[in-house]
Amino acid sequence: MLFNEAGARVSSFLTEYAEANGIYMKINYVNPEHVHALIDLPTRYSIEDVFKLLKGASSHWINENELLHGKFGWSRGYGVFSVSPSNVAQVAKYIATQADHHRRHSFLEEYQSFIQRYGMKWREEETVETVSQSSASAGSPR
């Protein structure tokens, strides 16, 4: 299975699973080494709860449906950024154009630029290692 087909299946699963759990997911896009999702965080869930649900269920579903060779598991981290209501359409458009965007910029380049643009602190720790390893050793799509 080609990545774009597998990615589309994972995207559909995430949308359906979120809806079944009362999480409104406006849009998501599954890239080979990361996912962008625009969600409205329900008050009954913490951010950590939502990511445990989405990452746990999707990992199980990906492995159950054998979308990749070998066992799949998400990395332990995630990034969360709030969006003002006036920027929701802009962020949704950004997510919808991920395929084109990542032909020009790698995830690592994008992430570093984002950190710098918004005055956040870059932490070497395992961020660079995790991103580099996941790009280099991601399972081959079936």
**Higher-confidence position of 95 and 141:** 95
pLDDT band at 3 (very low <50, low <70, confident <90, very high): low
Task: Check whether 19 has a pLDDT greater than 80.
Answer: yes
Task: Check whether 133 has a pLDDT greater than 50.
Answer: no
C-alpha to C-alpha distance for 114 and 118, rounded to whole angstroms: 6
Q: Are 139 and 68 in contact (CB under 8 A)?
A: yes
Domains detected in the chain? 3-137 (3.30.70)
Q: Are 68 and 9 in contact (CB under 8 A)?
A: no
Other Cβ atoms closer than 10 A to 97:
11
Give me the amino acid identity at 68: L
- Segments of the chain assigned E as strands: 24-30, 35-40
The answer to pTM > 0.85 is no
Quick one: average pLDDT of 37-61? 94
Q: Are 57 and 124 in contact (CB under 8 A)?
A: no
Q: pLDDT per residue over 85-109, tens digit each?
A: 999 999 999 999 988 887 888 888 8
Q: Are 126 and 52 in contact (CB under 8 A)?
A: no
Q: pLDDT per residue over 50-78, tens digit each?
A: 999 999 999 999 999 998 888 988 887 88
Please tell me whether residue 20 adopts helix, strand or coil conformation. Answer: helix
